[in-house]
């Protein structure tokens, strides 16, 4: 087994794999323990070509980033026969989706405000390094035991420079851009139309994630989606609506959402502007975060609290029973040229964009 790991991280033979704690379109996630220190971390493993592609992309993104208090730490990667193992920081609190479920199904506005501020700092860091996350949602935001928030799952992430180069090449060859990545209900309209993918796409997804935290439900609600999901995606991509805002949100919160969920991507606020919005910049003494320290390691050194870790790394919806690769051609690239909805729906059914049971992450 050959491995590549930063100095001080567990190396081959120095750690042992524990129980399965999550799975998704990227592969599987197991709890792991360092034999030399007893410290805990997680191991994401890929077993198929599609899973390899997502994990390799995540490794490529994270290993070229300086360690940040706002993104999960990459500890190294190893090849084990036909499998790829990626060692990642363990976040004891699990995902924000898990937290919302454990605290009544949704989060109070003061907590949403705190978490949103930390997510924005993470997005600002990524955007400052030329990276679009592309799959921001509650399942991909993790919580440490001391209240620290970190962005996770970079299998869909893209570098803006790479996107520009690919777009130029594909346009030159008269081909579709084909850079759709993310989870459909959280994706920006222009991304679903396959027209554009840049930092503004993450801002739209942020708005959707705030709604998800506040309501405990996916953006765009849940009624009739299982029966006709393509109609919903067509509405997102080509309609003029935006997701329904929480009815109990403050005026500041509602205005914040309007700045995020602007259908014209050119009018969406940037991370820097949103960090100055009153919803975020309110005096910190009014709402004190669980911990202001970003220097404390979030990975526990004992097995206490593992029971609360169950499901924490189900970062994506389950794969289809057939195990199909969900990298697809976008069905909405021509939605403005007069094609009828029924034709769009048939195309979507053929490409397998949606699961009848769960929304999945598209990897391309």
The pLDDT of residue 255 is above 80: yes
Supply the CATH number for residue 184's domain.
Answer: 1.10.510.10
Window from 71-80, 287-296, 325-334 with minimum mean pLDDT: 287-296
Within-domain flag for 68: yes
The percentage of residues in the chain with a pLDDT greater than 70, rounded to a whole number, is 69
- Residue 362 located in a structural domain: no
Contacts of 325 by beta carbon, 8 Å cutoff, 6+ apart: 48, 49, 50, 363
Please state which of the ranges 22-31, 83-92, 138-147 shows the lowest mean pLDDT.
Answer: 22-31
Note whether 36 and 139 are same-domain residues: no
pLDDT in tens, 13-31: 789 999 998 887 678 999 9
Reading the block at residue 243, the tokens are 């997701």
Q: What angle do CA 339, 361, 227 make, to 5 degrees?
A: 55
Query: Do residues 85 and 124 share a domain?
Result: no
15-24 and 40-46 strand pairing: unpaired
User: 130 and 85, same structural domain?
Assistant: no
pLDDT, residue 179, reads 56
Q: How far apart (Å, rounded) are the C-alpha atoms in residues 46 and 140? A: 18
pLDDT tens for 39-52 read 999 999 998 888 88
The domain tally of the chain equals 2
Residue 286 confidence (pLDDT): 47
| Contact (CB, 8 A) for 289 and 280 | no
Q: What is the pLDDT of residue 360?
A: 56
The secondary structure element, H or E, covering residue 143 is strand 141-143
Instruction: Tell me: do 144 and 23 sit in the same domain.
Output: no
* Same domain flag for 165 and 27: no
Beta bridge mates, 34: 15
Residues 70 and 122: beta-carbon distance below 8 Å: yes
Q: Which of 69, 89, 109 is the last residue of a domain?
A: 89
Range in 53-62, 198-207, 297-306 the model is least confident about: 297-306
180 or 319: which leads in pLDDT: 180
Same domain, yes or no: 17 and 162: no
pLDDT of amino acid 137: 97
Residue 359 falls within a domain, yes or no? no
pLDDT of residue 27: 84
Residue 79's domain comprises: 13-89
Q: Report d(CA 230, CA 243) in Å as an integer.
A: 16
Do the Cβ atoms of 29 and 20 come closer than 8 Å?
Answer: yes
Q: Which residues are catalytic?
A: 135
Query: Would you state the pLDDT for residue 306?
Result: 47
Pull the structure tokens for residue 193.
């139309």
Q: Is residue 308 part of a domain?
A: no
Classify each residue of 308-328 as buried b or exposed e, where b means 16 or more C-beta atoms within 10 Å of its C-beta: ebeebbbbbbebbeeeebbbb
pLDDT of amino acid 325:
36
Question: What's the rounded Cα separation, in Å, for the pair 8 and 167?
Answer: 39
φ, ψ of residue 181 in degrees (nearest 5): -145, 145
Q: Determine the average pLDDT of the residues in 221-225.
A: 61
What is the CB-side half-sphere exposure of residue 249 using CA atoms within 13 A?
24
| Cα–Cα distance for residue pair 243/255, rounded to 1 Å | 14
Statement to judge: residues 109 and 175 lie in one domain:
yes
pLDDT (0 to 100) of residue 335: 57
The pTM of this model reads: 0.78
Is residue 159 situated within a structural domain? yes
Last residue of a domain, one of 89, 116, 143: 89
Give the CATH number for residue 60.
3.30.200.20
User: And the tokens for 337?
Assistant: 């040229």
Q: Which of 60, 89, 118 is the last residue of a domain?
A: 89
Q: 87, 41 in Cβ contact below 8 A?
A: yes
Residue 191 within any structural domain of the chain: yes
Task: Write out pLDDT tens, residues 345-363.
Answer: 444 443 334 333 355 565 5
Residue 112 maps to a domain = yes
Among residues 161, 139, 155, which one has the least CA distance to residue 95? 139
Residues 85, 125: one domain?
no
pLDDT score of 263: 97
Residue 309 lies in a domain: no
Residues 319 and 336 in one domain: yes
């Amino acid at each position: 087994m050959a491995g590549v790991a930063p100095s001080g991280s567990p190396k081959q033979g120095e750690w042992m794999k524990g129980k399965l704690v999550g799975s998704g379109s990227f592969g599987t996630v197991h709890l792991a323990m360092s034999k030399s220190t007893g410290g805990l971390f997680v191991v994401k493993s890929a077993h198929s070509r599609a899973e390899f592609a997502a994990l390799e992309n995540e490794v490529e993104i994270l290993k070229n980033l300086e360690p940040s208090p706002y993104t999960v730490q990459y500890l190294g990667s190893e090849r084990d026969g036909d499998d790829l193992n990626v060692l990642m920081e363990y976040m004891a609190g699990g995902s924000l989706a898990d937290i919302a479920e454990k605290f009544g199904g949704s989060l109070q506005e003061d907590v949403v405000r705190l978490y949103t501020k930390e997510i924005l700092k993470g997005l600002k860091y990524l955007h400052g390094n030329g990276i679009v996350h592309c799959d921001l949602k509650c399942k991909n935001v993790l919580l440490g035991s001391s209240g620290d928030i970190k962005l996770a799952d970079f299998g869909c992430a893209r570098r803006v420079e790479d996107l520009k180069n690919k777009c130029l090449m594909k346009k030159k060859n008269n081909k579709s851009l084909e850079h759709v990545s993310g989870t459909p209900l959280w994706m920006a309209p222009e991304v679903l139309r396959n027209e554009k993918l840049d930092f503004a796409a993450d801002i739209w997804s942020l708005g959707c994630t705030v709604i998800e935290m506040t309501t405990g439900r996916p953006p765009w609600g849940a009624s009739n989606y299982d029966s006709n999901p393509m109609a919903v995606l067509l509405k997102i991509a080509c309609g003029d609506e935006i997701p329904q805002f929480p009815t109990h949100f403050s005026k500041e919160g509602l205005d914040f959402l309007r700045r995020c969920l602007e259908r014209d991507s050119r009018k969406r606020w940037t991370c820097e502007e949103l960090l100055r919005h009153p919803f975020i910049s309110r005096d910190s003494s009014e709402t004190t975060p669980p911990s202001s320290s970003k220097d404390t390691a979030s990975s526990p050194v004992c097995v206490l609290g593992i029971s609360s870790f169950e499901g924490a790394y189900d970062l994506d919806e389950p794969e289809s029973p057939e195990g199909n690769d969900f990298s697809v051609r976008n069905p909405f690239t021509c939605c403005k040229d007069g094609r009828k909805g029924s034709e769009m729906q048939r195309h979507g059914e053929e490409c397998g964009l949606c699961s009848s049971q769960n929304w999945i992450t598209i990897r391309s």
